[in-house]
Amino acid sequence: MNAIAVPQHPPTRLDELKQWVEDVARLTRPDAIHWCDGSDAENAALIANMQADGTLIKLNEKTHPDSWLHRSHPDDVARVEHLTFVCTRHADDAGPNNHWMAPDEGHAQMDALFDGCMRGRTMYVIPYCMGPIDSPLSRCGVEITDSPYVVANMRIMTRMGAAALARIEREGLAGGAFVKGLHSIGELDPNRRFIMHFPEELTIKSYGSGYGGNALLGKKCHALRIASYQARSEGWLAEHMLILGVENPQGETHYIAAAFPSACGKTNLAMLIPPEGYRRDGWKVTTIGDDICWMRPGADGRLYAINPEAGFFGVAPGTSSKSNPNALATIQNNTIFTNVGLTADGQPWWEGLDGGVPAYDWRGHEYDSSAPASSRGPAAHPNARFTVSAKQCPSYSPMAEHPQGVPISAIVFGGRRASLVPLVFEARDWTHGVLVGAAMGSETTAAATGAVGVMRRDPMAMKPFCGYNFADYFAHWLSFGDVAGLPKIFHVNWFRKGDDGKFLWPGFGDNLRVIEWMIARVKGDAGAQDTPIGALPHAHDLNLDGVDLGDEARAKLFGFDEAGWREEFAGIGEFLDEYGPRMPAALKAEQARILAELGG
């Protein structure tokens, strides 16, 4: 690429990094090497080159200034869990929740793919920091890639460039480690596509995909799969959770971390706008993060959390002025859209968006909105995305940059369950809460390849992301049980349906009514009914002013189906047994205790 000068010598004094980059260059044989500094000039040159070669399409400058559309290969539109491996010396350390490969075999397979793959391309070296640059909770990495699209996205999603390199050098010279990530788009051949993680080596190798979750290695690969392994070794938690702040009319702010599977409303909840009556009374919601949460016990015993990301990689379809006005406001400028539709005047479009008519679909084909829906399909891919800086969000909290993180008052688990699971319940204690998270089930969505709408167990929403054996992961969670000041644990289900197949709970901003009850429970100010599965609110324990709930809705949202839960807990026991003798006895005992209370 001619617009960016290629340095003759590596701009680093860290021998380990210098040697690794040289080794990768010898393997991949790029035409040029570019060390990314994260500057505005560098980004402008990258964008200009991608516009020139068609990688990025400039959107309407009047309606969406400094924004771009990227169309990925039609076979490269989501995470590929069946091609994602965890490579540990012993298969049991990866666990049945992961696809395992021996490290030597994994390296050999990947290096054969990487051999000469960057000929004719520039190799980009991306130093990045996950979390505030000066936070002791943050961790750093370097991604090497041949994709300028990845560079542009990593600049938004991480603290990328010179400051990150300075921290990597400082920590490296003191004996610290950084995560090494090697990525190439390869030929974008689905049959030559693999994502390999080597947690014991803090290494990632990804080949054959340009999709975010497979190619932006700071995201799921580092921030969850590798970081979960780091967290267990170092005594903290790396979780697939949003973080939001809730300020009540008395001026108290409580921070909540919540785990939901992809495309189940994390971003909507993280950017929640209170109902009108709540806004009038002085309630405020602020956003720390929408996807990933790193937590560590503080000196006072409370869990303190940072969002390791600097941006949002959100699902576009369904984002509207009703579902998430804050997200819609966030992405009006300086945004990269991926696989959305396009209007005739160059505006991004997706299903659920207010107004506009798509002229082209996500593949770039002309789109006839008047044709029958069955014949034309969606204009935007169901997993179409936007990448944007978190600081553009109207609800963004400056506390997202606080180096010590924010104290967590409550941890919330939830998924898509059309039946059985009530609107909200509270775990009895930490051990019960870990079981609630471990047993969490949800219907699959378009964020991953495979069938949509199938109920599967997704513990802590970490099934695709935990970098080691789930049994050991649950044991790590349980190890925090003696820490003073732990947050209360809750489970929510915004997706309960009635007999007519429609959702019973209005969701969106009204979810604050549930959060208000949680905060009151944390403070000891709210009522509940005790059941074997936990403490459920009565309908009158929530502020339902202005919410029209019929008899069926009240019965199912706040009800307890003992027979149904007896069957559910029998299934939970079978799930825990899948992990064999490594499954913590305390978790199995908790499941057995509750099943006995249910008469099982």
pLDDT at 33: 96
Percentages of the chain per state (helix, strand, coil), in multiples of 5: 35, 25, 45
pLDDT at 2: 37
Q: Is the pLDDT of residue 453 over 70?
A: no
Q: What is the dihedral of CA 471, 475, 477, 483, to 10 degrees?
A: 180
Q: Mind listing the pLDDT tens digit for each residue in 11-53?
A: 899 999 999 999 999 999 999 999 999 999 999 999 999 999 9
415 shares a domain with 355: no
DSSP state at residue 223: I
Other C-beta atoms closer than 10 Å to the C-beta of 344 total 10
73 phi-psi bin (left φ>0, alpha ψ -120 to 50, beta other): beta
**Domain end call among 172, 202, 233:** 233
Taking the C-alpha atoms of residue 243 and residue 531, their distance in angstroms, rounded to an integer, is 28
Annotated binding residue 262: yes
- Asked whether residue 184 is domain-assigned, the answer is yes
Confidence of residue 455 (pLDDT cuts 50, 70, 90): confident
In sequence order, what DSSP letters do the residues of 558-589 get, joined into one string?
A: S---HHHHHHHHHHHHHHHHTTGGGS-HHHHH
Phi first, then psi, for residue 79 (nearest 5°) are -60, 150
Look up residue 362 and give its amino acid: W
CATH number for 272: 3.90.228.20
Asked whether the beta carbons of 380 and 350 are under 8 A apart, the reply is yes
Taking the C-alpha atoms of residue 419 and residue 556, their distance in angstroms, rounded to an integer, is 8
Look up residue 84 and give its amino acid: T
Q: Mind listing the pLDDT tens digit for each residue in 426-436?
A: 999 999 999 99
Burial of 388 (0-12, 13-18, 19+ CB in 10 A): buried
Mean local confidence (pLDDT), 437-460: 78
Confidence of residue 262 (pLDDT cuts 50, 70, 90): confident
Mean local confidence (pLDDT), 55-66: 98
- Asked whether residue 21 is domain-assigned, the answer is yes
**Domain end call among 183, 208, 233:** 233
Q: Is the pLDDT of residue 138 over 90?
A: yes
Mean local confidence (pLDDT), 341-356: 96
Strand partners, 57: 69
- R_g (Cα) of the chain, nearest Å: 24
pLDDT at 449: 58
185 shares a domain with 117: yes
Annotated binding residue 264: yes
- Asked whether residue 151 is domain-assigned, the answer is yes
Taking the C-alpha atoms of residue 600 and residue 591, their distance in angstroms, rounded to an integer, is 11
Confidence of residue 382 (pLDDT cuts 50, 70, 90): very high
284 shares a domain with 166: no
H-assigned helices in 127-184 = 148-157, 162-173
Phi first, then psi, for residue 247 (nearest 5°) are -100, 125
**Domain end call among 356, 390, 424:** 390
Confidence of residue 445 (pLDDT cuts 50, 70, 90): low
Mean local confidence (pLDDT), 533-554: 97
Q: Mind listing the pLDDT tens digit for each residue in 218-243?
A: 999 999 999 999 999 999 999 999 99
Look up residue 448 and give its amino acid: A
pLDDT at 7: 47
Mean local confidence (pLDDT), 65-91: 95
| Number of structural domains found in the chain | 3
Q: What is the mean pLDDT of the chain?
A: 95
- Asked whether residue 495 is domain-assigned, the answer is yes
Taking the C-alpha atoms of residue 348 and residue 385, their distance in angstroms, rounded to an integer, is 11
Confidence of residue 4 (pLDDT cuts 50, 70, 90): very low
pLDDT at 446: 56
Annotated binding residue 376: no
Taking the C-alpha atoms of residue 272 and residue 244, their distance in angstroms, rounded to an integer, is 9
Which of 244, 204, 243 lies closest to 224 in space, CA to CA?
A: 204
pLDDT at 109: 98
Annotated binding residue 508: yes
489 shares a domain with 430: yes
Q: Mind listing the pLDDT tens digit for each residue in 153-201?
A: 999 999 999 999 999 999 999 999 999 999 999 999 999 999 999 999 9
94 shares a domain with 51: yes
pLDDT at 78: 85
pLDDT at 448: 57
411 shares a domain with 293: yes
Q: Mind listing the pLDDT tens digit for each residue in 272-315?
A: 999 999 999 999 999 999 999 999 999 999 999 999 999 999 99
- Asked whether residue 318 is domain-assigned, the answer is yes
- Asked whether residue 65 is domain-assigned, the answer is no
Taking the C-alpha atoms of residue 485 and residue 281, their distance in angstroms, rounded to an integer, is 29
Q: Using alpha carbons, list the distances in angstroms from residue 180 to 103, 126, 198, 465, 561.
A: 15, 10, 10, 18, 49
Strand partners, 122: 32
Annotated binding residue 263: yes
DSSP state at residue 399: G
Which of 289, 287, 317, 272 lies closest to 510 in space, CA to CA?
A: 272
H-assigned helices in 219-341 = 227-234, 266-270, 276-281, 325-330
426 shares a domain with 335: no
140 shares a domain with 274: no
264 in catalytic set: yes
209 shares a domain with 196: yes
Taking the C-alpha atoms of residue 259 and residue 264, their distance in angstroms, rounded to an integer, is 10
290 shares a domain with 224: no
H or E, element range at 124: strand 122-130
Question: For a pLDDT cut of 90, what percent of the chain falls above it?
Answer: 92
Annotated binding residue 153: no
Annotated binding residue 416: yes
Asked whether the beta carbons of 326 and 395 are under 8 A apart, the reply is yes
CATH number for 332: 2.170.8.10
Looking at 264, 293, 393, 466, which residue is catalytic? 264
Q: Give just the sign of the alpha carbon dihedral 93, 96, 97, 103.
A: positive
Residue 504: domain span: 239-310+396-560
Annotated binding residue 265: yes
DSSP state at residue 405: -
482 shares a domain with 340: no
Taking the C-alpha atoms of residue 198 and residue 94, their distance in angstroms, rounded to an integer, is 10
pLDDT at 176: 95
- Asked whether residue 62 is domain-assigned, the answer is no
Give the strand pairing for 122-130 and 159-160. antiparallel
pLDDT at 265: 85
- Asked whether residue 597 is domain-assigned, the answer is no
Confidence of residue 375 (pLDDT cuts 50, 70, 90): confident
Mean local confidence (pLDDT), 342-365: 97
Taking the C-alpha atoms of residue 286 and residue 394, their distance in angstroms, rounded to an integer, is 9
352 shares a domain with 403: no
Confidence of residue 10 (pLDDT cuts 50, 70, 90): confident
CATH number for 189: 3.40.449.10
Confidence of residue 130 (pLDDT cuts 50, 70, 90): very high
Annotated binding residue 550: no
Q: How many residues comprise the chain?
A: 600
Between 114 and 447, where is the model more confident? Answer: 114
